[in-house]
Structure 1
Amino acid sequence: MSGSRGCCDEKQETQVEGGLYVEEGQCDSGIGSIRSLPGQPGEGEPRSPGVRVTPLEKDPPRTLGKEEEEEDALEAEGRLDSSYGSSSLIEALQGLGEPEEEEEDAAPKGLSQQQLEAALTYISEDGDTLLHLAVIHCVPAVALCCIAQLPREVLEIQNDLFQTPLHLAVYLEQLSMVQALILKGVSRALQDRNGNTPLHLACEQQSLECTRQLLQELAASESTEPDRTPQDLHLHLQNWHGLTCLHISTMKGNLQLMALLLRSGANINVQEGTSGKTPLHLAVERHDRAAVGYLLRKGAQVDAQMYNGCTPLHLAVGRKDAAVAGLLCHSGADTLLRNMEDETAQDLADGNDDLLALLPFDDLKISGKPVVCSD
């Protein structure tokens, strides 16, 4: 088959009577073949990879030798090897998404049940199923047909980039396919090559609608596993950079996404996996006063410490952000907490009068100067 497959990629032009040129052996194994195949099929006949355009006057029939017959058979076999990409099969699959007027169990016209099963279970050299390709090329009729026909395990197949069809549908913001996959009960916890779940991607894209779809209660869906709990939404699952969805939405400064995640049960003090920063630490790093104020109002721990012992106040003072430092101090931040370098926020103020005004050393003063307690 490897030798015969090459004939699908080579194009030869043959001139027939009337000056017409015909491309022979044209075959495409991708969804793009809907647009790539030229011409229209004959009336009443489905198009197939073996169709040839014949001249108006046929030449006398020629008797083929045994070797020529074997070569033609191998060539035909090679063309049909990727038959799911032919226009006849794509058109038949597109028809599956439309209501049937006659028999419900009847296979599409011109497509046998065996061919249908082969198409639905096709996997490309990149690990993409027909559903992956239908999502990528925005062919909802084929995608919805696959979702309706295939079991959940097949709908969760990951390609070579570890993307499921749900990852792609979220990334491309195809809401109808996202909803159909969720109603089918596919897992929302599978991670791609970067460790991102579909919810991570929705937050990265700042797609509020996709996030709402992914956070909806499973009880309202037609899940095949009704015993799943909201914990399966994996709000606290980290990607390979150690970030949860709340971390990502905070880094984007999207208060609507942050509010939606918190209402759905996200931990406001969750630490990212590399340095232990909470969403409040990240908001302080971005000098995002709105996000800092929002998190503090929602109950974020003002003195949460990273793995190195730094609090949000350490970060604000170290970045000489007096406005954010003031918000933290007014929310009760402890100015005397020490990090692993044995530094307090005052130590990091480095003579900045605006910051020192917010960080009094002690109430005890001698000759108008604050007293510093040493070890």
Structure 2
Amino acid sequence: SQRSGGFLDDFLEDTRTDSGIDSYRSIVKPEDSREPSTDFGGPRDKLFSPDERLDSAYGSSSITVESLPPMVEGCTLSTAEEQQEQICELSEQEDLLTTITDDGDTILHLAIIHEDTQVALELIELFPKEVLDIQNNLYQSPLHLATYLNLTDVVSGLMKKGVSLELQDQDGNTALHVACQHGQMECASGMTRDVLPSMLAPVAETQNWRGLACLHLAALNRQHGIMELLIKKGTDLNIQEGTSGKTPLHLAVELHDVTSVKLLLKRGANVDAIMYNGCTPLHLAVGRQDAAIAHLLCQSGADRMLRNMEDETALDLADGNDDILALFPFDDIQISGRLVVGRNF
């Protein structure tokens, strides 16, 4: 139609082109970005520089937020016949599907970046799945961006078209990782609602380049609702992160997060899970002088006598804390070679 043709002409005229999807997909990921770091003590505040506004092409492309609505003005899908006609026209215009900015963003990426939900949803209906899964030069798919910006309708639209949940960005995060890190509960729900546990497990257990799976990120960022959601979907409660072998329970203990500890224990997390250095959650709780969490772990059956690779039991780390020593029912406890007597165990 004339209106649809105008949309195509405007886009092709206003957008810089590269050699197309095939050449873009041949980009090799930098190997050093795959190496996990031992630094995962807290969430990363931003996925990208604030100046970029999440837009890896912002300032390098002639597409702007002002130009997006006119470009898709003729794309409104009012009837099934018109939709089919426009899809046919898009198929004939291969340049539209292979046109991306210098930094790899498609027009759908840009519509999402500028939070234009209506435009994004119309493009999702028009584009085939292969285009919806294109990753930009930061390896962000449209689903990554929609999740980061909490555009729940766009996430739902993408999921209905069957986009991949397994794609990882430059930090190794899937879109579900992004939701767990930033607390996007509705997005996480939309990505997992109609996915079978057997299909979700490989995504939930994928480690980013810091060695963290989805449940680790949810625990680190105290996203209790998302933790509950993942657990109900069958996520492995005892999955170990890749740098030191901590489970979500270890991480919750380190954060002194009683709510997460109770949630994980209630759902059946292994109270005696060991890190690569042999430490259990009880070792960490006692070492951090957290008597309340140590008590919770003991109530859940934690083995007080397990030794780490330094041949230490949790008791060896008590450092004279009376509240913690009271958890160990022995009458011949020695600390630093001195007999502890007169205590009410």
Aligned to 2:115: 138
Aligned to 1:128: 105
Determine if contact 1:97/1:141 at 8 Å carries over to the other structure.
Answer: no
Please give the TM-score of this superposition, normalised by the length of structure 1. 0.67
Cα distance in 2, alignment partners of residues 156 and 101 from structure 1:
24
Per-residue deviation, 1:129: 0.8
Per-residue deviation, 1:258: 1.1
List runs of 5+ in structure 1 lacking aligned partners: 9-26, 35-84, 220-227
Determine if contact 1:235/1:265 at 8 Å carries over to the other structure.
Answer: no
Corresponding position: 1:189 with 2:166: yes
Aligned to 1:246: 215
Q: CA RMSD in A?
A: 3.1
Corresponding position: 1:31 with 2:64: yes
Corresponding position: 1:97 with 2:76: yes
Aligned to 1:201: 178
List runs of 5+ in structure 2 lacking aligned partners: 1-12, 17-59
Seq. identity, %: 52
Higher RCO structure (Cα 8 Å, ≥6 apart): 2
Corresponding position: 1:150 with 2:183: no
Letter in 2 for 1:172: L
Q: Which moved more, 1:320-329 or 1:231-240?
A: 231-240
Q: Determine which of 335, 343, 348 is the counterpart of 2:317.
A: 348
Per-residue deviation, 1:28: 6.7
Letter in 2 for 1:312: P
Task: Report how many residues are paired.
Answer: 280
In our comparison, the structure showing a higher alpha carbon Rg is 1
Task: Return closer, same or farther for 1:100/1:290 CA change in 2, 3 Å cut-off.
Answer: closer
Determine if contact 1:127/1:159 at 8 Å carries over to the other structure.
Answer: yes
Task: Return closer, same or farther for 1:289/1:113 CA change in 2, 3 Å cut-off.
Answer: closer
Letter in 2 for 1:91: P
Per-residue deviation, 1:95: 2.4
Determine if contact 1:314/1:348 at 8 Å carries over to the other structure.
Answer: yes
Cα distance in 1, alignment partners of residues 174 and 80 from structure 2:
40
SS at match of 1:234: helix
SS at match of 2:317: helix
Cα distance in 2, alignment partners of residues 362 and 94 from structure 1:
81
Task: Return closer, same or farther for 1:122/1:348 CA change in 2, 3 Å cut-off.
Answer: same
Aligned to 2:233: 264
Corresponding position: 1:290 with 2:290: no
- What are the equivalent positions in structure 2 for 1:1-375 lying under 5 Å apart? 29-34=62-67, 91-99=70-78, 117-218=94-195, 230-231=199-200, 234-361=203-330
Cα distance in 1, alignment partners of residues 180 and 144 from structure 2:
12
Letter in 1 for 2:104: G
List 4+ stretches of structure 1 deviating above 4 A. Answer: 100-108, 112-117, 361-365
Task: Return closer, same or farther for 1:332/1:207 CA change in 2, 3 Å cut-off.
Answer: same
Per-residue deviation, 1:253: 1.9
Per-residue deviation, 1:208: 1.1
Determine if contact 1:156/1:186 at 8 Å carries over to the other structure.
Answer: yes
Please give the TM-score of this superposition, normalised by the length of structure 2. 0.73
Determine if contact 1:147/1:155 at 8 Å carries over to the other structure.
Answer: yes
> What do residues 299-335 of structure 1 show as CA deviations (whole Å, max 9, x unaligned)?
1111111000000111011111111111111111111
Per-residue deviation, 1:232: 6.2
